[in-house]
Amino acid sequence: MKHMTRKATRHVNQNEGLIFEKSSAGKAAWKLPPLDVPEVDTAKLLGAAERKDLGNMPEVSEIEIIRHFTRLSTWNYAIDLGMYPLGSCTMKYNPRVNEVVARLDGLANGHPYQPEKISQGALRILKTLSDCLIEITGMDAITLQPAAGAHGELTGLLIVRAYHQAKGNPRKKVLIPDSAHGTNPATAAMVGYSVENLKSNPKGMVDVAALAAQMDEDVAALMLTNPNTLGVFEQEINKIAEIMHAKGGLLYMDGANMNALVGKVRPGDFGVDVMHLNLHKTFSTPHGGGGPGSGPVAVKQTLEPFLPKPVVITKPDGTLAFEYNRPMSVGRVRAFYGNFGMFVRALAYILANGPDGLRQTTEDAVLNTNYIRKGLDGIYDLPYSTPTMHEVVFSDKLQQKKGVKTGDIAKRLIDYGFHPYTVSFPLIVHGALMIEPTESESKEEMDLFIEAMKSIAEEVQEDPQMVLDAPHSTRVSRLDEVAAARKPVLRWKPAS
């Protein structure tokens, strides 16, 4: 290590086996109350359907479970430990009040089929969040049903398809820029559209002339991320929307990067017809190690009839209700109403911020990114000099000369006490380092990050092998992913 890292030192790390390795017959962490109805003869009730044995399920005590999972937890990096600069993932602070209100009894124990008369609290939350998100996006209507961003994309494209279908022709293709997230093309395929790639121009934006040439009446929609995955705002967005609309196509916006826009500009105002949001990115619901997410889809009025059912309506007496009678709807995309617990949290975030806080949040996110960009420009290659909003993409071009790639720099960053940035994405930048600090980082934390990245760049020149072997300070060193995929071991089995 060139400089002593200021953020992290090694700490004691408990060894911990699999829970199955602690199990022995007769230990228990559970206790049921006495049965207040007669015991049943299971054999008589169930016959051949009765299960006799639960195999290798564990038998352990409560203290062992607490220690097991607490020890495992210490092997994770987390936002609570420090900066998590994953580009396009928007790893911001997850406020704790969100967790508290989501656990209030009436909300946590509300059954999705309980009568609407005693569901007014939940319906009010759905309605208030919907109203806020409609205002924030500048759209006209919304569904909260999709369970994650990719699920929102699926819903959005189903709506696109239903719209064209209603006009007599579902169309055949969806245009997707080469800088897009992998979920975009995967989603288009699920909705029966073929994918046509759209090349970026030298500034990293949509090549408007190429779009005009490619756009025809077979194209159902353009799926655009704005700002795109380089963090660049599509300045010619009005022309892009015009080109799409002139030939009857729709403009879909992937809202993954909405953290750059909230309170400053509204997609509905710049020509977007349909978009999804990621509540687990922009609106602070926790990532939880990979979910749950939530991917609401907002639309313009012309697309409203196609929203999934049910939708929330206000009845003449002022109470709220679900409306199921929606003949043009694309149908349901999920049982019940979506990831309600995430709605509670996202709305709590909006209430904590208010209009001034939301705007300041966006400004700080963009400010932080540009500070990091300034601090690392020249140390790492900046392939596009176009101004960036909430994230910035460097390349490993300068470090490649020493045989060190973006993935290696990322692993070395772990030794300095940071989670890596997003590696090798977007695909249009060879050897990409994609950095999104979010608004949650202080100047001090960012200075530590910049210092760490500079130090690694020096290490690459002086001792590249040390970087190639990183991380050096973690519980496990680099893991053999090739072996894991070649002969998959996907579950524990008792030693035979």
Distance between CA 163 and CA 191 in Å, rounded? 13
Of residues 286-315, those binding another protein (CB under 8 A): 286-294, 308
Query: CB-hemisphere CA count at 13 Å for 238?
Result: 1
Of 357, 383, 464, 468, the one binding another protein by CB under 8 A: 357
Interface with another protein, residue 65, by CB under 8 A: yes
46: amino acid identity, one letter: L
Interface with another protein, residue 74, by CB under 8 A: yes
Task: State which residue, 284 or 399, has the beta carbon closest to another protein.
Answer: 284
Interface with another protein, residue 265, by CB under 8 A: yes
Contacts of 43 (CB under 8 A, 6+ apart): 50
Interface with another protein, residue 19, by CB under 8 A: yes
* Among 77-85, 217-225, 242-250, 296-304, the segment contacting another protein (CB under 8 A): 77-85
Interface with another protein, residue 336, by CB under 8 A: yes
Of 130, 179, 183, 200, the one binding another protein by CB under 8 A: 183
How do beta strands 274-276 and 250-254 pair? parallel
Q: What are phi and psi of 481, to 5 degrees?
A: -75, -30
Task: State which residue, 4 or 476, has the beta carbon closest to another protein.
Answer: 476
- The residues that bridge with 435 in the sheet, in sequence order, are 86, 392
| Least separation in angstroms between CB 215 and another protein | 19
Look at phi and psi of residue 492 and say left if phi exceeds 0, alpha if psi is from -120 to 50, else beta.
beta
Task: State which residue, 145 or 401, has the beta carbon closest to another protein.
Answer: 145
Task: State which residue, 208 or 414, has the beta carbon closest to another protein.
Answer: 414
In order of 238, 271, 305, 345, the CA distances from 299 in angstroms are 18, 11, 10, 22
| Least separation in angstroms between CB 367 and another protein | 5
Q: What are phi and psi of 183, to 5 degrees?
A: -65, -30
Q: H or E stretch including 421?
A: none
- The residues that bridge with 314 in the sheet, in sequence order, are 320
Interface with another protein, residue 468, by CB under 8 A: no
Task: State which residue, 106 or 378, has the beta carbon closest to another protein.
Answer: 106
Interface with another protein, residue 32, by CB under 8 A: yes
Interface with another protein, residue 375, by CB under 8 A: yes
Task: Mark residues 186-225: x for contact with another protein by CB under 8 A, - for none.
Answer: xxxxxxx--x------------------------------
Interface with another protein, residue 166, by CB under 8 A: no
Contact indicator for 394, 375 with CB cutoff of 8 Å: no
Task: State which residue, 135 or 458, has the beta carbon closest to another protein.
Answer: 135
Interface with another protein, residue 12, by CB under 8 A: no
What burial class does residue 83 get, using C-beta atoms within 10 Å of its C-beta: 0-12 exposed, 13-18 middle, 19+ buried? buried
Contact indicator for 210, 199 with CB cutoff of 8 Å: yes
Of residues 105-134, those binding another protein (CB under 8 A): 105-122, 124-125, 128, 132
Task: State which residue, 1 or 102, has the beta carbon closest to another protein.
Answer: 102
Structure tokens at 94: 């997850």
| 225: three-class secondary structure by DSSP | strand
| Least separation in angstroms between CB 142 and another protein | 14
Number of residues that bind another protein (CB under 8 A): 199
* Among 244-252, 299-307, 356-364, 454-462, the segment contacting another protein (CB under 8 A): 356-364
| Least separation in angstroms between CB 120 and another protein | 4
Task: State which residue, 15 or 301, has the beta carbon closest to another protein.
Answer: 15
Task: State which residue, 290 or 316, has the beta carbon closest to another protein.
Answer: 290
Query: Dmax over Cα atoms in the chain, in whole Å?
Result: 77
Interface with another protein, residue 91, by CB under 8 A: yes
Structure tokens at 136: 């924030």
- The residues that bridge with 434 in the sheet, in sequence order, are 393, 422
Contact indicator for 332, 160 with CB cutoff of 8 Å: no
